[in-house]
Amino acid sequence: MTKTYSALHERLQTRTLENGLRICYLPKEGFSKTFAVLATDFGSVDASFTFEGQRYDTPAGVAHFLEHKMFEDQDGNALQKFTRTGASPNAFTSHTMTAYHFSCTDRFAENLEILLKFVFTPYFTEENVAKERGIIGQEIGMMEDTPGWQAMVGLYAGLYREHPVRVSIAGSVESIAEITPETLYTCHRAFYSPKNMVLVVCGTADFDEVCRMAAQFSPQDAPEIGERHYGTRRSTVYQAEVSRVMPVSQPQFLLGVKDTPLEPGESRLRRGMLGELAARILCGDTAPLYTELYEKRLIGRDFDTDYTLFPQGAAVLMGGESRDPAAVRAAVEAEIARLAGEGIDPALFRRMKKALYGMYLRVLDVPEAYARQEAAAVFAGEHYPDFAALFDTVDAADVQAVFARWARTDCSCLSVIRPQ
């Protein structure tokens, strides 16, 4: 199927194979590199699930551990194979997704074969799993020594009492000690089913050949995905403030406001743009409140905002360094209440909406960014270029409704890393 986005001057080709694997190709003539990502709808929050009639409560960090181990096979290491072809491979695990990708200037078909083979062919032994525990344990140690990471982990732990988003993506040294080859094989079979995955290609490629190769090197056995378990939903936060002492020169903080989860049938792409637009209007780097806080030296240029969505949850996050995080929190919460009650200045709304549209547009020219956004959109039943039409449906009243949700009581948490 080919869908043309006239307003964007883009053309997206899509196909779903008989085994359920979804394939998306965005042609980019004139680009020197072609990018491919093979992603699974399996992230750190999916540790508890029911598969083939049995409930599994796997150790924290299993999705990330699996990502590390997938590059190794009986013939050696996929990274070495990519090195010989001149490709640049990598992978990542987020709260909601695990993805394996590469970019190359030539030998695309050869690189795609390597990608498909190693992702769909797991190889775990007691020896290589034990070795990986040490490597990941060192990675966890480095993250635990990073103030920004600790602020984020603390924030999610404060926002959510049971939801697994409160657990670090990599898990802990204690949790990964419980991961066995059997754990990894179970999670691979449950979540690396073609029905739970998408292949996104951006650049210059033969779409029919991509589909033929994907059919050849992906399994025909595609188990159904079972039910995932995220704990009891609560509208209020677990803790209003979380703090930790670390060797920092001045406090670092993250302020989070809990939003309501996606409603059944609600567009994830549209909700995401509403959340991002509200975050920019509230305290983006050209918002009035940002200027006020910066001039008072309560925030610096490192201050940033983000809006995140995950199964049965959503939140707006913002933070950086500050001599007085509590004062920043008070100002932000007061501005949320004001915007929820008074509405948004029309000129500010138009300016911020136009800027956000430009940001979404630029993603289409960054293959790595586009492929990641496309994978997330496909898992929600959409395509990233659909944003153009969705933007036309967003008005100031929609964003004011977002602020009304954020203005609810007991919905914010402040996570602070304080100097020793």
Residues forming the active site? 67
- Packing angle, helices 126-144 and 147-159, rounded to 10: 100
Q: Where are the beta strands (DSSP E) in 22-97?
A: 22-27, 34-40, 48-51, 54-57, 72-73, 76-77, 88-93
Question: CA 248, CA 251: separation in Å to the nearest integer?
Answer: 7
Sign of torsion, CA 36 38 41 44? negative
Question: CA 322, CA 326: separation in Å to the nearest integer?
Answer: 9
Structure tokens at 136: 């990941």
Structure tokens at 272: 């995401």
Nearest to 331 by CA among 298, 286, 295, 284: 298
Q: What letter does residue 228 receive in the DSSP assignment?
A: B
Angle at 55 between CA 311 and CA 227, to 5 degrees: 35
Question: CA 272, CA 288: separation in Å to the nearest integer?
Answer: 22
Give CA separation, 199 vs 8, 16, 165, in Å. 22, 10, 25
Q: What letter does residue 265 receive in the DSSP assignment?
A: T
- Give residue for tokens 């990330």: 64
Structure tokens at 354: 């136009």
Radius of gyration of the chain (CA): 22
Question: CA 394, CA 387: separation in Å to the nearest integer?
Answer: 11
Nearest to 334 by CA among 383, 377, 285, 283: 283
Instruction: Provide CB contacts within 8 A for 159, sequence distance 6+.
Output: 166, 237, 238, 256, 258, 315, 413
